[in-house]
Amino acid sequence: MPLKATIQILNGPLLGRKFSVDSNIEVTIGRSSDAQIIIPHGADTKLSRLHCKVTFNLPQITIVDLESSNGTYIDDERIAAADISSGSILTVGDTKIKFLIVEPVNCIDCGVELADKDLNAFYRDGGIYLCDECFSQLEYRGENTEFETSGNEDGSDTEFFDYNGDTTVVNISDNTKMNLEETLAPKKKYPEKKSFDQFEILCCLAEGGMGSVYKAKDLETGEIVALKMMHPSIAESEIFREDFLREIENTKILSHPNIVNVLNVNISDSKKMFFTMEYCDCGSIQELVESSEKHVSIENGFNILKPCLLALDYAHNVEIHNIKLHDGRAVSARGLVHRDIKPGNILLANKDGGVCPKIADFGLAKAFDHASETGNTMVGAVAGAMGFVPRQQVENYKFCKPEVDVWAMAATYYYMLTKCMPRDFDDDMDDASTVLHKPTVPIRKRRREIPKSVAEVIDLALIDTHDLFYKNANDFLNALQKAIEESFE
C-alpha cells in the first residue's frame, strides 16, 4: 500500500493543523508568501522568510536548512541537512512540527481505505481488516466471520508450487501461472510508441519517488527487459543521483542465478539516466500472495525461500573492490547487506517451465565492512518497508549487519504462510515506534496448523527484542529445512 506522511503543528498560530502528503513533493516552510507552509512573521519572529525545505520521497523525508538565521533543529539537534524518521520533531524558530509516516489500511474485500481514527474497529479475527459493510454482508450470507487461516476445503494446504530439485527454480502449475498473468497484466500502456536509445517502451510496471520501471524491448536484440529510469528532476540532486548509481554498481557486482542481473547502463546524460535488468514476467511474491485466495503451503513457501537464502548468503560474502570512502580512498571489502528485503523485492521469472525467484532492488545495499567510512548514509537514517524491518535496523540503520536481511527473509516466509506481517501495526502508534516497541506475533497465533517445530524456528528468527538469533542465511536455512523435514516425516 502507498505510504502517507502526516505533518502536525504542535504549537504557535497553526496549532493543531495537520497536513497529509501521499506523493513525492518538496515543501518549503517559512514566513514568505512563496513558502508552502506559511507561519506569520508576527507570530514567530525567529523564523526566516524561507527557513527550510522538506523533501518527501516516502518513506524517506529529508530536511534541508535554507541558511536560516536561527537554524533548523531535528529532535533538538541543529542540522544543515538530515533524513528524519517517523515521529521526529522539527523545530523552526519557536514552532515545532511533528512528522509521522503511516501505511494506509484497506478493506481486504472491497479495497476501500479505512478511517485512520479507529482502525481497531475494522480488525477481524485472523489478522485482516474488513469494513463494516463487507463484514455485515458476510454475516448476512451466513459465512464464517472468524477468518481462520486454514487450508483448502479438504483441510490441505493450497498447492502453488512443487520443488523440481533445482535449487534455483520452482515448478509452478498452469492454473497458478494463468492467474498470475491475469493479475500482473500491465494497467498502464502508452498509446504511442516511446523509446530510449535502442529500447522501445511497452508499458509502465512501477513508479516511485526516484524513478519509474518500464517493460521495454531491446530493438537490437529483440529481448524483453525491465528498464529503470531516474526522474530528470530527481537526477539534479547529487544525493539521489548517488543512490541511483549505487544501485547500479551494487547490482553489477553480483552474479547469481537468484539475483536480478543488470544488462545495460546509460548514465552519460543526467536528464536520461537509466539501466536495464532482466525482466521477471511472473511478478513478485507480494503479487503472488495478494492474488491468491489462500496462503502458500509450508513446503512450497520453503521452496521459494531456499534459493533466495542461498543468494543472500552469496551477497553477504561477495568480494567487493574499489569501494569509495568519504575521504577519497578506495578499499576492498566482503559482503553487501541489502536492507530492503520484502515480498515486493523478490521477483519471479519463468525459467525451464518453472519459476525462478530473484532478489531485486539493491538500492539500499551497503558494504557492511566499511559502513562507518563510506559516508553514503547519515547516522539516524531509517529506510526499508517497516513491516519487514527488525528493531535493530530502525535503531542503527547505517551499521546494519547481514542478520537484518535474514530477519526480513524470515518475515517474508511468515507473510507467505499467513498473508500477515509479523507485527501488528495500528493507528495508535507510528510505524517506526511500532517496530521499536511492539513484539512480533508468534506465527501459530495466525495459523494454528503450522507444526510446532517449524513455528519455533520462524519465531526464533523473528525475535528482535535483543540480538537477532540467526546471524547468517545458511544457519536459518539449515534450521528451517531440518524442522520441515522432521515435521513431514
Among all residues, which ones are annotated catalytic? 340
Q: Rounded to whole angstroms, how far apart are CA atoms 58 and 210?
A: 10
Q: Which SS3 state, helix, strand or coil, does residue 285 take?
A: helix
Max Cα–Cα distance, the chain, nearest Å: 76
**Residues paired with residue 57 on neighbouring β-strands, in sequence order:** 60
For residues 380 and 367, the answer to whether their CB atoms sit within 8 Å is: no
Where does 419-466 have alpha helices with state H?
431-437, 443-446, 452-462
What phi and psi values does residue 121 have, to the nearest 5 degrees?
Answer: -65, -20
Parallel, antiparallel, or unpaired: how do β-strands 366-367 and 274-278 relate? unpaired
Q: Across-strand partners of 27?
A: 54
Contact by Cβ (8 Å): 204, 186: yes
User: Contact 396/279 with Cβ under 8 angstroms?
Assistant: no
Q: What is the dihedral of CA 124, 125, 127, 132, to 10 degrees?
A: -10
3-class secondary-structure state, position 42: helix
CA-to-CA distance for 376 and 393, rounded, in angstroms? Answer: 16
State the Cα torsion 251-472-485-176 to the nearest 10°.
-30
Residues 25, 425: Cα–Cα separation, whole Å: 26
Half-sphere exposure of 172 (CA within 13 A, CB side): 25
Which cell is 85 given?
Answer: 524518521
In this structure, what C-alpha cell is assigned to residue 268? Answer: 552519460
Q: What does the block give as the cell for 415?
A: 507473510
Nearest CA-CA partner of 273 in 239, 324, 219, 236: 236
Task: Please report which helix (H) or strand (E) contains residue 474, including its range.
Answer: helix 473-487
Q: Are 335 and 369 in contact (CB under 8 A)?
A: yes
Which of 324, 345, 337, 383 is CA-nearest to residue 62?
Answer: 383
Which grid coordinates belong to 310? 542461498
User: In what helix (H) or strand (E) does residue 426 lie, and over which residues does it extend?
Assistant: none
CA atoms of 360 and 382, how far apart (whole Å) = 19
